[in-house]
Amino acid sequence: MKNQSPYKILLYYKYVHIDDHETYAKIHLKFCESLGVKGRILIAEEGINGTLSGTTEQANAYIYAMRMDPRFTDMTFKIDDAEEHVFKKLYVRPKKEIVTMNLEKDLDPNHITGKRLKPAEFLEAMKDDNVIIVDVRNDYEYDIGHFRNAIRPDVKNFKQFPEWARKNKDMLKDKKILAYCTGGVRCEKFSGYLVREGFTDVNQLKGGIIAYSKHPETKGSMFEGKCYVFDERIAVDVNFAEGTKVVGKCFHCGEPSDRYVNCANLSCHTQFLCCEKCDEKTLRSCSKECEEVIRNYQIQSTD
């Protein structure tokens, strides 16, 4: 029998109407506190989007309780093993949207969204030359790992995707569009937006990279590098078919690296990829200016 990991990490979302979401967020926070789980859960009128860690018992209790609620009975949980908590704190926040797109006219993925492809269907579709694979995540997520041949949209955050699509209309139209993100929640909205804008062949990876990585038929095939995650692990392996290759590059020297660090100048704290050598050499700084600040701080603290 396989050894049971002491902790589990859950990733889940559902677009479903939540009445008085602010009150529900308060109740949900109390409930999570009583269980002892940690993580980040966003609750909006349009649904729930969460990731949390807890002991196996706590995670099971959370899933069980959520399934008792008719709104979440069919919610999919992506479950990972862990040795300990991967979050320091617990946040349960009421929000306007569970992923912020800020559209003038909001959109409900239950009514309009791209075709949901199962992992094996997505893999088959990617092999066709006449498709456009769109990574619907942030630039720093793309940089540490992505599907082979996926385009890296020139956006700073999710809100800029609609504008990006408008600018690249000529490239996208008449093509089969394959969109993907970490767990699927961002694609539901973005692909819905594309459909509403008149694109005709819009598809999305059901369950995102995480489900694709775990699926026995795909095992992460054609994914290069690691998947960025929003917890203390920072990135996880995806491709169990061909192995993980390093696609990230050290910000300073350009050598292959998938080590994300935060600039040690606390007033900067920028996240960047940095190899071990440059980490030591630059005192984990993102720039000459920040290095200077850190050196001065070190001199002061040894005075």
Q: Which residues make up the interface to Zn ion (CB under 5 A)? A: 250, 252-253, 263, 265, 268, 270, 275, 278, 286, 290
C-beta closer to Zn ion: residue 56 or 262 = 262
Minimum CB distance to Zn ion, residue 266 (Å): 9
Nearer to Zn ion, 169 or 295 (CB): 295
Q: How far is the CB of 139 from Zn ion (least distance, A)?
A: 17
Q: How far is the CB of 160 from Zn ion (least distance, A)?
A: 23
Q: Which is nearer to Zn ion, 117 or 294 (CB)?
A: 294
- Among residues 32, 181, 187, 250, the one annotated as catalytic is 181
Smaller CB distance to Zn ion: residue 75 or 268?
268
SS3 for 91? Answer: strand
Write down the least CB distance from residue 131 to Zn ion, Å. Answer: 35
Q: Are 186 and 99 in contact (CB under 8 A)?
A: yes
Do β-strands 131-135 and 176-180 pair in parallel, antiparallel, or remain unpaired? Answer: parallel
β-partners of residue 236 are 227
| Tokens 């690296």 belong to residue | 257
Q: Alpha helix (H) ranges present in the chain? A: 21-35, 56-68, 119-126, 139-144, 161-167, 169-172, 185-196, 208-214, 276-281, 288-302
β-bridge pairing 7-15 and 47-55: antiparallel
Amino acid sitting at position 45? E
How far is CA 283 from its chain centroid?
A: 29
181 is catalytic: yes
Catalytic residues: 181
